[in-house]
C-alpha cells in the first residue's frame, strides 16, 4: 500500500500530466512560442548586422607622438573603424576624459588606458598601431644596435595597461549576459503566469473543477497545475534558448566582443536557471491565486494586475543591481524576496558572495514560496465554487474555513 506522501505525489503528477497534454494541444500556445522564437531571432540578426557596420570611436593620443596616431589611423581604415581623435598633453587629462566617457580609449606614451566603452577589438587596434610605430622607429635608425636587432627579431614591445573601468572584460561580459538572460526569462515568466491564470478560469467556467475537487484536495490541484505548466514553460524556454542560441552562434554575435570561455558560459547559465526556477514557483502561485479570484476570462486583467505589478517590481531590481552590483542596496535586494531571483544572479556575476548570504537568500525565498503556496491553496479552495464576478481575498479565506 503506497504511503500518504507517495499517494500525494502520484496525484499531483496525474494532474500535471493533464495540464501538459492540454497545453501542447493549444494552438495559441504553439503560435505564441513560434512568434517568440521569431522575434528573438530577428532581434539577434538585427543586432549582429548593426555591430558589423562601421563603428565610430573616440580615441585619445599623446600630442607629442604623431607616429602612433598615424599608424593607428592607417590600420583603422583597413578594419573599417571610424575614429575621432583627441590630443592630450598630460596623463591626468587622459584619465579624466576616459572616466567622463568623452574618450573611449587612449594611448599615452607607452600605456593604453581603457574604460567602460573600450572593446577588445579597439584595444587590439591600439596595440597593433603602437607596435607598428615602434618598429618603424627602430628600422628608421641609421645603425641598428645589437639590442635593437634583438627587439626586432623577438617582435615589437607591448604597451602597459591601466584599466579604469572598475571590472575586467570577462566580468563585464558576465554581467551583460546575465542581465540579458534574466530579463528574457522574466518576460517568459509573465507569459507563463498568464497561462496559469487562464487555466484556472477555464476550469471554473467549464465546471470541471467541481468533479476534480471530489477526487483530489485543492492544494493537490494547485500543485499539479504549477508542476505541469512549469514543465511546459521550461520546455518552451529550452526551445527558445536553443533556437536563439543557434542564430546567435551562426551570426557570430555570441562570440563577438567577449572572452568568455565554456566554463564561464556554463556557470552563467546555471546561475540564471537556479534562481529562475526558484522565482518561477513563487510567482506561479501568485498568478494561480489571481486566476482563482476571477470567474470569467474578461475578469482576468483586473485580478492579474497586482500579480503583474509585483513581478514588475521584482524585475525593476535588475537596473540598480546592474548599475551598482557591489552596493549595499543591491545586497539587500539580492537577499529579500521577491527581488532576490532577479538581483542575486546579477550580483553574483560580479561579486564573490559568501555562503551565508546565499543560504539566507535561498531560505527566505523558500519560506516565502511555501507561505505563498499555502496561502494560495486556501484562496484556491475558497474561491473555486464562486462562479459569478470577482471574489475578494477576504471572502475566499472565509469560505475556506466553512
Would you say the pTM of this structure is higher than 0.85? no
In terms of domains, do 69 and 211 share one? no
Mean pLDDT over 21-27 rounds to 83
Lowest mean per-residue pLDDT among 44-48, 149-153, 390-394: 149-153
Backbone φ and ψ for 167, nearest 5 degrees, come out as -150, 150
In terms of domains, do 162 and 229 share one? no
Q: Does residue 255 or residue 246 have the better pLDDT?
A: 246
In terms of domains, do 11 and 87 share one? no
pLDDT range class, residue 363, cuts 50, 70, 90: very high
Using the 3D structure, point to which of 120, 150, 166 is the last residue of a domain: 166
Q: What pLDDT sits at residue 304? A: 85
Q: How many domains does the chain have?
A: 2
Using the 3D structure, point to which of 149, 166, 183 is the last residue of a domain: 166
pLDDT at 81 over 50: yes
Mean pLDDT over 124-141 rounds to 75
In terms of domains, do 65 and 178 share one? no
In terms of domains, do 318 and 351 share one? yes
In terms of domains, do 101 and 83 share one? yes
Lowest mean per-residue pLDDT among 48-57, 97-106, 230-239: 48-57
pLDDT at 153 over 50: no
Q: How far is CA 4 from CA 1, 9, 10, 34, 398, in A?
A: 9, 9, 10, 41, 28
Backbone φ and ψ for 330, nearest 5 degrees, come out as -65, -40
Structural contact between residues 113 and 94, judged by C-beta atoms closer than 8 angstroms: yes
Question: Which of 141-150, 167-176, 198-207, 283-292 is the most confident on average?
Answer: 283-292
Question: Which of 38-52, 58-72, 229-243 is the most confident on average?
Answer: 58-72
Phi-psi domain of 86 (left: phi exceeds 0; alpha: psi -120 through 50; beta: other): beta
Would you tell me the crossing angle of helices 355-383 and 393-401 to the nearest 10 degrees? 70
Q: What pLDDT sits at residue 322? A: 81
Instruction: Residue 147: give the domain boundaries.
Output: 54-166
In terms of domains, do 72 and 101 share one? yes
In terms of domains, do 300 and 200 share one? yes
In terms of domains, do 98 and 183 share one? no
Q: What pLDDT sits at residue 361? A: 92
Amino acid at each position: 500500500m503506497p504511503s500518504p506522501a507517495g499517494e500525494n505525489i502520484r496525484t499531483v503528477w496525474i494532474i500535471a500530466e493533464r495540464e501538459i497534454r492540454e497545453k501542447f494541444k493549444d494552438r495559441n500556445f504553439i503560435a505564441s512560442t513560434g512568434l517568440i522564437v521569431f522575434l528573438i531571432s530577428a532581434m539577434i540578426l538585427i543586432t549582429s548586422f548593426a555591430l558589423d557596420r562601421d563603428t565610430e570611436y573616440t580615441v585619445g593620443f599623446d600630442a607629442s607622438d604623431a607616429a602612433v596616431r598615424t599608424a593607428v589611423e592607417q590600420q583603422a581604415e583597413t578594419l573599417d573603424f571610424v575614429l575621432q581623435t583627441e590630443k592630450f598633453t598630460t596623463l591626468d587629462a587622459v584619465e579624466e576624459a576616459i572616466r567622463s566617457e568623452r574618450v573611449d580609449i587612449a594611448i599615452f606614451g607607452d600605456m593604453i588606458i581603457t574604460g567602460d566603452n573600450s572593446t577588445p577589438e579597439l584595444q587590439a587596434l591600439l596595440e597593433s598601431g603602437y607596435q607598428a610605430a615602434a618598429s618603424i622607429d627602430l628600422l628608421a635608425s641609421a645603425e641598428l644596435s645589437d639590442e635593437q636587432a634583438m627587439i626586432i627579431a623577438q617582435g615589437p614591445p607591448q604597451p602597459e595597461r591601466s584599466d579604469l573601468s572598475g571590472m575586467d572584460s570577462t566580468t563585464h561580459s558576465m554581467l551583460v549576459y546575465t542581465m540579458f538572460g534574466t530579463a528574457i526569462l522574466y518576460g517568459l515568466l509573465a507569459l507563463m503566469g498568464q497561462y496559469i491564470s487562464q487555466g484556472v478560469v477555464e476550469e471554473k467556467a467549464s465546471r470541471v473543477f467541481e468533479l476534480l475537487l471530489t477526487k483530489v484536495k485543492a492544494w493537490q490541484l494547485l500543485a499539479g497545475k504549477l508542476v505541469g505548466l512549469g514543465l511546459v514553460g521550461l520546455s518552451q524556454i529550452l526551445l527558445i534558448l536553443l533556437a536563439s542560441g543557434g542564430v546567435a552562434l551562426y551570426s557570430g554575435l555570441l562570440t563577438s566582443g567577449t572572452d568568455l570561455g565554456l566554463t564561464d558560459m556554463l556557470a552563467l547559465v546555471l546561475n540564471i536557471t537556479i534562481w529562475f526556477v526558484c522565482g518561477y514557483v513563487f510567482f506561479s502561485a501568485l498568478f494561480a491565486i489571481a486566476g482563482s479570484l476571477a470567474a470569467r476570462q474578461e475578469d482576468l486583467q483586473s485580478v492579474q494586475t497586482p500579480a503583474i505589478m509585483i513581478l514588475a517590481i521584482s524585475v525593476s531590481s535588475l537596473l540598480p543591481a546592474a548599475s551598482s552590483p557591489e552596493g549595499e542596496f543591491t545586497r539587500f535586494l539580492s537577499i529579500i524576496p521577491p527581488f532576490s531571483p532577479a538581483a542575486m544572479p546579477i550580483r553574483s556575476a560580479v561579486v564573490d558572495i559568501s555562503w551565508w548570504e546565499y543560504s539566507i537568500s535561498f531560505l527566505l525565498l523558500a519560506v516565502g514560496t511555501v507561505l505563498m503556496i499555502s496561502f494560495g491553496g486556501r484562496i484556491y479552495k475558497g474561491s473555486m465554487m464562486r462562479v459569478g464576478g470577482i471574489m475578494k481575498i477576504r471572502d475566499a479565506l472565509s469560505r475556506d474555513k466553512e
